[in-house]
Structure 1
Amino acid sequence: MTKNSLALPLTSLLAVLLAACGQQQGGPGGHAGGPPPVSVAPATQREVQEFDEFTARLEAPDTVDVRARVAGTVEAVRFKEGQLVKKGDPLFSIDARAFKADVARAEAQIAAAKTQAELARADLARSEKLVAVNAVSQQEIDQLRAALRSAEANQKSAEAALVQAKLNVEYANVTAPVSGRTSRANVTPGNLVGVGDAVLTTLVSNDKVYAYFDASEATFLKYMHSAKPVSTVVQMGLSNEQGFPHTGKLDFVDNRLNPATASIRARAVFDNKGGQFTPGLYARVKLGGSATYQGVVVPDRAITTDQTHKIILIVGPNNIVQPRPVTPGALIDGMRVVEGVKPGELVIVDGLLRAFPGAPVTPQVLKVDDKGMPIPAAPAGQQGAAPAPAPASAASK
Structure 2
Amino acid sequence: MTHHPLAAPGRVALVFLAALSLAACDAGAKKVEDAKPNALRVVAAKPTIKAVTEWDEYTGRFTAVESVQIRARVSGYLTAIHFQDGQMVKQGDLLFTIDRRPFAMAAASAEADAKVADSTLGFARQELARAEVLRKSDTVPERTFDERTTTVRQGEARLAAANAALDRAKLNLEFTEVRAPVSGRIDTHTVSVGNLISGGDTNATLLTNIVSLDPIRLTFDVDQDAYLKYVRSMQDGSRPSLREGINTVRIALPGDKGFPRSGKLDFVSNQIDRGSGTVRMRSIVGNKDLSLAPGLFAKVQLAGTAAHDAVMIPDQAVSTDQGARVVFVVEDGKARLRNVTLGPLIDGLRLVRDGVGAGDVVISSGSQNIRAGEAVAVVDGPSGAQRNADAQTGGVIR
State the TM-score, normalized to the length of structure 1.
0.74
Aligned equivalent of 1:205, options 195, 199, 212: 212
Aligned equivalent of 1:257, options 272, 275, 282: 272
Indicate the SS of the match to 1:55. Answer: strand
Change in 2 beyond 3 A, CA 1:121/1:202: same
**1:142 maps onto 2:146 in alignment:** yes
1:231-266 Cα deviation digits (max 9, x unpaired): 722222222333322222222222222111111222
**1:30 maps onto 2:38 in alignment:** yes
Give distance in 1, aligned partners of 2:138 and 2:326.
Answer: 113
- Superposition deviation, residue 330 in structure 1: 4.6
Indicate the SS of the match to 1:122. Answer: helix
**1:112 maps onto 2:116 in alignment:** yes
1:348-367 Cα deviation digits (max 9, x unpaired): 556596456xx997666832
Runs (5+) with no aligned partner, structure 1: 1-15, 373-397
Contact 2:59–2:299 (Cα < 8 Å) also in 1: yes
Match of 1:55 in 2: 59
Give distance in 1, aligned partners of 2:68 and 2:352.
Answer: 47
Give distance in 1, aligned partners of 2:103 and 2:30.
Answer: 110
Match of 2:299 in 1: 284
Match of 1:214 in 2: 221
Number of equivalent positions: 348
Describe how 1:242-321 pairs up with structure 2 within 5 A.
242-299=257-314
1:266-289 Cα deviation digits (max 9, x unpaired): 222222221212222222222222
- Superposition deviation, residue 188 in structure 1: 0.9
1:301-358 Cα deviation digits (max 9, x unpaired): 7679999x99977767x669999998755542432153687644544556596456xx
The letter of the residue matching 2:229 is K
Change in 2 beyond 3 A, CA 1:335/1:123: same
Give distance in 1, aligned partners of 2:191 and 2:89.
Answer: 18
- Superposition deviation, residue 66 in structure 1: 0.7
The letter of the residue matching 2:291 is Q
Describe how 1:1-397 pairs up with structure 2 within 5 A.
27-31=35-39, 40-195=44-199, 196-226=203-233, 227=236, 228-229=238-239, 232-299=247-314, 329-332=343-346, 333-338=348-353, 343-347=358-362, 351=367, 354-355=371-372, 366-367=381-382, 369=387, 370-371=390-391
The letter of the residue matching 2:239 is P
Change in 2 beyond 3 A, CA 1:116/1:302: same
Contact 2:336–2:372 (Cα < 8 Å) also in 1: no
Contact 2:75–2:196 (Cα < 8 Å) also in 1: yes
Give distance in 2, aligned partners of 1:155 and 1:264.
Answer: 57
Indicate the SS of the match to 2:250. Answer: strand
Which 10-residue stretch deviates more, 330-339 or 144-153? 330-339
Contact 2:42–2:377 (Cα < 8 Å) also in 1: yes
- Superposition deviation, residue 148 in structure 1: 1.4
1:99-120 Cα deviation digits (max 9, x unpaired): 1112111211221121222222
Match of 2:8 in 1: none
- Superposition deviation, residue 169 in structure 1: 1.1
Give distance in 2, aligned partners of 1:173 and 1:128.
Answer: 50
Match of 1:392 in 2: none
Match of 1:393 in 2: none
Contact 2:45–2:361 (Cα < 8 Å) also in 1: yes
1:81-137 Cα deviation digits (max 9, x unpaired): 112111111111100111111211121122112122222222222222233332233
Contact 1:296–1:337 (Cα < 8 Å) also in 2: yes
The letter of the residue matching 1:247 is S
Give distance in 1, aligned partners of 2:38 and 2:340.
Answer: 32
Give distance in 2, aligned partners of 1:115 and 1:281.
Answer: 63
Give distance in 2, aligned partners of 1:310 and 1:81.
Answer: 57
State the TM-score, normalized to the length of structure 2.
0.74
Give distance in 1, aligned partners of 2:126 and 2:287.
Answer: 66
- Superposition deviation, residue 40 in structure 1: 4.1
Contact 1:62–1:205 (Cα < 8 Å) also in 2: yes
Give distance in 2, aligned partners of 1:327 and 1:241.
Answer: 30
Change in 2 beyond 3 A, CA 1:135/1:340: farther
Give distance in 1, aligned partners of 2:258 and 2:44.
Answer: 31
- Superposition deviation, residue 190 in structure 1: 0.9
Give distance in 2, aligned partners of 1:344 and 1:311.
Answer: 17
Contact 2:56–2:301 (Cα < 8 Å) also in 1: yes
Change in 2 beyond 3 A, CA 1:116/1:76: same
Match of 1:384 in 2: none
